[in-house]
Structure 1
Amino acid sequence: MRSSLPRTGRLVLAAGLFSLLAACNTASRTGQYAALEGYTPDPTLKTATKSNLTGRVRNACTVVQGRLQKVEPSTLAAPCGCYADRTLASLDKDEVASYRATGYFNDTATAKALNALDSCKLPRPV
């Protein structure tokens, strides 16, 4: 199944998640992510606590949403906290394992992240 986000939206999410939020990276579609070639996930993701992962996602959200909304990232602390909490709480163990291994949300985790954006009244990346 192809993600409903356009390529630029996925790249923005991926960049945000690396600093930390949500994009997809699947082995079956590696050509689609040629712009991310050479990317190496942070090795500390493998052993990071769930609380640390939530903090990383919150930070990525503030960076990405700050750029998207053209506001100071600090003004997004509450909605991005909502987003990070809801997203990480909704992921199953396989989705968390995938995120730890790749630094990206897989397709099912991305769908959950998009639902969390909607729930927390944050705009989706275009």
Structure 2
Amino acid sequence: MKEAIVRFATVSGAFVLVAVMAAALPALASGTTAPLPPPDPTAANLSPAQIRERAYDACLVTQAKIMATPRETLREPCRCYARRTIAAMTQDEITAFRQTGYFNDSARGKALEALDACNLRRPI
């Protein structure tokens, strides 16, 4: 039971980020704005390292589904993605993430570039 709760907490946190990314990326691609999910209050005090960890977890979940492959095989590419994305973010983008729990438009562009650089698939 304890393992299920921990797994649920980890997956639900990653799911929120994945859901947000999936919802927002089509808007980026089409040039229109889509409704965004409500802000995630748990993101308010996250350090850049914690944001990187969330991005890593979301990457594992999303890429495992997209590529139909076990998460274990995606550890290094997702680490690459998370490191590159968060390292490229400005302080304003970090602040925006803390306010919402997801990447804003400019950070999303950096995340897409990181996906390409780390040989991962775009979720759109």
Corresponding residue of 2:77: 79
TM-score by length of 1: 0.72
Q: For 1:122 and 1:16, how far apart are their aligned partners in 2?
A: 18
Corresponding residue of 2:17: 18
Query: 1:84-99, aligned counterparts within 5 Å?
Result: 84-99=82-97
Q: For 1:100 and 1:78, how far apart are their aligned partners in 2?
A: 25
Query: 1:29-68, aligned counterparts within 5 Å?
Result: 32-33=34-35, 36=37, 39-41=38-40, 43-68=41-66
Q: What is the Cα-based RMSD across aligned positions, in Å?
A: 2.6
> Where do 5+ consecutive residues of structure 2 fail to align?
1-13, 26-31
Task: Tell which structure's C-alpha radius of gyration is larger.
Answer: 2
Alpha-carbon distance change, 17 to 85 in structure 1, aligned in 2, over 3 angstroms: farther
TM-score by length of 2: 0.73
Q: For 1:81 and 1:20, how far apart are their aligned partners in 2?
A: 19
For these two proteins, the number of residue pairs brought into alignment is: 105
What residue identity is the alignment partner of 1:18? L
Where has structure 1 moved over 6 Å in runs of 4 or more?
none
Alpha-carbon distance change, 40 to 21 in structure 1, aligned in 2, over 3 angstroms: closer
Q: What percentage of aligned pairs have identical amino acids?
A: 38
> Where do 5+ consecutive residues of structure 1 fail to align?
1-14
Structure whose residues are more often helix by fraction: 2
